[in-house]
Homo-oligomer: A and B are copies of this chain.
Amino acid sequence: MNEAQILDFVKSCGHVLLSSVDEQGFPHTRAMLAPRKNDGLQHFWHSTNTSSSKVTQLRKNPKACLYFFDPQQFIGVEIIGTMTVLEDQASKDLIWRTGDELFYPLGKTDPDYCVLKFTGQVVRVYANFTSQSIVLQQNI
């Protein structure tokens, strides 16, 4: 798969697995809805609750992994990188969608609403019993 095909696959997934590392060094994984926005394979934006355990973990240790997986084809795309927790209003406005009040009752300015911005470094694709790696150019 080339980068365009990998990106098409990633964008076809309805959810993504986000992994972080806690203070004791244990990895933690949880499903998230598909990213709200992306810039190629390098940057992904998600909304989440500021009070969630993932935010606590990622503020202390930004090392993270996004894993996009289709169980039918058994294709997985892992992206290793770092996560930044953003609470500025411009970032919060950027990915807000109508209906998000379900999760953040106070709206766009809800202090329990924040943005996770992921910056990828290395992509690894697992398909047909083989894997390939791509180091992403760092356009910060």
On A, residues with C-beta under 8 Å from B are: 14-15, 17, 19-21, 24-31, 61, 63-65, 67, 69, 71, 74, 76, 78, 80, 103, 126, 129
Are B30 and A126 in contact, with the CB atoms below 8 A?
A: yes
Are A14 and B67 in contact, with the CB atoms below 8 A?
A: no
Could you write out 23 A-B pairs with CB less than 8 Å apart? A14-B71, A17-B17, A17-B67, A17-B69, A19-B19, A19-B29, A19-B65, A20-B27, A21-B21, A21-B25, A21-B27, A25-B63, A27-B27, A27-B63, A27-B80, A28-B65, A28-B78, A28-B80, A29-B29, A29-B65, A31-B74, A31-B76, A103-B129
On chain B, the residues within 8 Å of A103 by CB distance are 129
A-B contacts besides A30-B67, A30-B126, A31-B76, 9 pairs, CB < 8 Å = A17-B17, A19-B27, A19-B29, A27-B64, A27-B80, A29-B65, A29-B78, A30-B76, A103-B129
- CB-nearest residue of chain B relative to A80? B26
Copies in the assembly, this chain: 2
A46 to chain B, nearest CB (A): 15
On chain B, the residues within 8 Å of A14 by CB distance are 71
On chain B, the residues within 8 Å of A25 by CB distance are 21, 61, 63
On chain B, the residues within 8 Å of A76 by CB distance are 30-31
- CB-nearest residue of chain B relative to A66? B29
